[in-house]
A and B are shown apart, each in its own frame.
Chain A
Amino acid sequence: GEDVEQSLFLSVREGDSSVINCTYTDSSSTYLYWYKQEPGAGLQLLTYIFSNMDMKQDQRLTVLLNKKDKHLSLRIADTQTGDSAIYFCAESLEGNTPLVFGKGTRLSVIA
């Protein structure tokens, strides 16, 4: 079955890099996503990666996928106070099935 796990909290200093980790159990997952949720808001799609890729970079965001260990990470370079939010990892089979979310990692950025 599908299950996605994330650590609940991460605290970093402004200007440092943040690394948010996620593990998933379904080896059939073909799409893996990172969403950001700010207080009182919906989910913002940050980036996604196909399971046939190892890495994807998009400006300050770098996604790394280790298929063997079923491990996904999101690195935010030069973390800013505006990056403080909850980050959700999600998986989907074949891209047109429901998203299965982790519980979210609350990132706190200290000025």
Chain B
Amino acid sequence: KAGVTQTPRYLIKTRGQQVTLSCSPISGHRSVSWYQQTPGQGLQFLFEYFSETQRNKGNFPGRFSGRQFSNSRSEMNVSTLELGDSALYLCASSAGLGNYEQYFGPGTRLTVT
């Protein structure tokens, strides 16, 4: 069974631009969560989607948004990029609500210049 895939793996953007990251969960998994990893703040939760609905949201500004499609694939969007948005963005999938096994993808490394 294929694991969680994320595209692109690396991205360089300029301040003020917007970016869209994509995540395909493990086949059959319906829950997708997004995390931001930085050296200073560590791993922080962004949001979680299940059956195309946002179930949980972390403490991030409204510039960070996401969505989930009917095939469980998810995208996250960051608008008006800031230097501080440079991070590794990780996506995790699990089978569904109440499922405690979350499997992570390799991440997208975003650099904002």
**Is there contact, CB below 8 Å, between B42 and A42?**
no
CB pair B43–A42 under 8 Å, yes or no, is no
Shortest CB distance B34–A (Å): 10
Most-contacted residue by chain B among A48, A88, A95 (CB, 10 A): A95
Complex contacts, A48 vs chain B, CB 8 Å: 100-101
Asked whether A97 is an interface residue with its Cβ less than 8 Å from the other chain, the reply is yes
Counting residue pairs across A and B whose Cβ atoms lie within 8 Å, the total is 51
- Which residue of A has the minimal Cβ distance to B44? A101
Using a Cβ–Cβ cut-off of 8 Å, how many residues does chain A contribute to the interface with B? 23
Give every chain B residue within 8 A of A45 (Cβ-Cβ).
101-104
| CB-CB contacts below 8 Å: A39-65 with B | 40-45, 48
Which residue of B56, B99, B104 is within 8 Å of A44 (Cβ)? B104
Question: How far apart sit A98 and B102, CA to CA, in the bound complex (Å)?
Answer: 10
Q: Are A42 and B105 in touch, CB under 8 angstroms?
A: yes
Find out whether the CB atom of B100 lies under 8 angstroms from the CB atom of A98. Answer: no
Interface residue total, chain B, C-beta cutoff 8 A: 23
Q: Is the beta-carbon distance between A98 and B99 smaller than 8 angstroms?
A: no
In the assembled complex, the CB of A10 is this many whole angstroms from the nearest CB of chain B, namely 17
Output the residue of B42, B90, B98, B102 with the most chain A CB within 10 A: B102
Taking the nearest CB of chain A, how far is it from the CB of B29, in angstroms? 13
Chain B positions within 8 Å of A, measured between CB atoms, are 4, 6, 33, 35, 42-43, 45, 48, 56, 58, 90, 92, 97-107
Supplied contacts A48-B101, A97-B56, 13 more A-B pairs, CB within 8 Å:
A40-B106, A41-B107, A42-B6, A42-B90, A42-B106, A43-B90, A44-B104, A88-B43, A94-B98, A95-B100, A98-B33, A101-B42, A101-B43
- Interface, chain A (partner B; CB < 8 A): 31, 35, 40-45, 48, 88, 90, 92, 94-104
- 13 A-B pairs within 8 Å (CB atoms) are namely A35-B104, A40-B106, A41-B107, A43-B90, A43-B104, A45-B103, A48-B100, A95-B100, A96-B98, A99-B92, A101-B42, A102-B42, A104-B42
Interchain residue pairs A-B with the least CB separation, the first 6:
A95-B100, A98-B45, A101-B43, A43-B104, A42-B104, A96-B98
